[in-house]
Structure 1
Amino acid sequence: MKLSARNQLPGKVKALNVGVVTAEVVVELDGGGELVAVITKKSVENLGLAVGKKVYAVVKSTEVMVAVD
């Protein structure tokens, strides 16, 4: 699969918190760190997501904000 998004971060599913309609997916990135995504429960089922499964976190955005204290 090829995508136009430049930010394709490989990792594995660390945790799933599936609700009635949506699910929180915690991805442990191969380069270190974690990323959390909220997707539909149906998407979790369609992708066959489970803890330990290899995934890509794909980020496509027109803006990235940076903040400091």
Structure 2
Amino acid sequence: MSITAINVRNQFRGTIKEIIEGPVVSEVDVQTPEGLLVTSVITTRSVKELGLVPGKAVVALVKSTEVSIATL
């Protein structure tokens, strides 16, 4: 299933690998079947309301107006 009712073109299906929960915001790591790791920083309240737990299948929706890259 892909989500088409919103304006987000980059969608990655995956499974929650880890959640690092903080008092206000949490990091949610989503691993795709190809092994790509996508990390989202969302409110801890949203983590709880969405029932996010490691092992749960999710879709990571990525919308960005800017991606910066620096050389080493």
Aligning the two structures, in what range does the TM-score lie when normalised by the shorter sequence?
0.7 to 0.9
**4+ runs of 1 displaced by more than 2 Å?**
64-69
Q: Which TM-score applies when normalising by structure 2?
A: 0.83
Q: Deviations over 1:6-64 (max 9, x none)?
A: 00111010001111111111111122220111110100011100000011111111222
Amino acid at match of 2:68: M
Alpha-carbon separation, structure 1, partners of 2:34 and 2:70: 22
Alpha-carbon separation, structure 1, partners of 2:27 and 2:36: 16
State the identity %: 43
Across the aligned residues of Structure 1 and Structure 2, the Cα RMSD in angstroms comes to: 1.3
Are 2:52 and 1:49 equivalent residues in the alignment?
Answer: yes
Which runs of no fewer than 5 residues in structure 2 stay unpaired? none
Which runs of no fewer than 5 residues in structure 1 stay unpaired? none
What is the match of residue 66 of structure 1? 69
Q: Which TM-score applies when normalising by structure 1?
A: 0.86
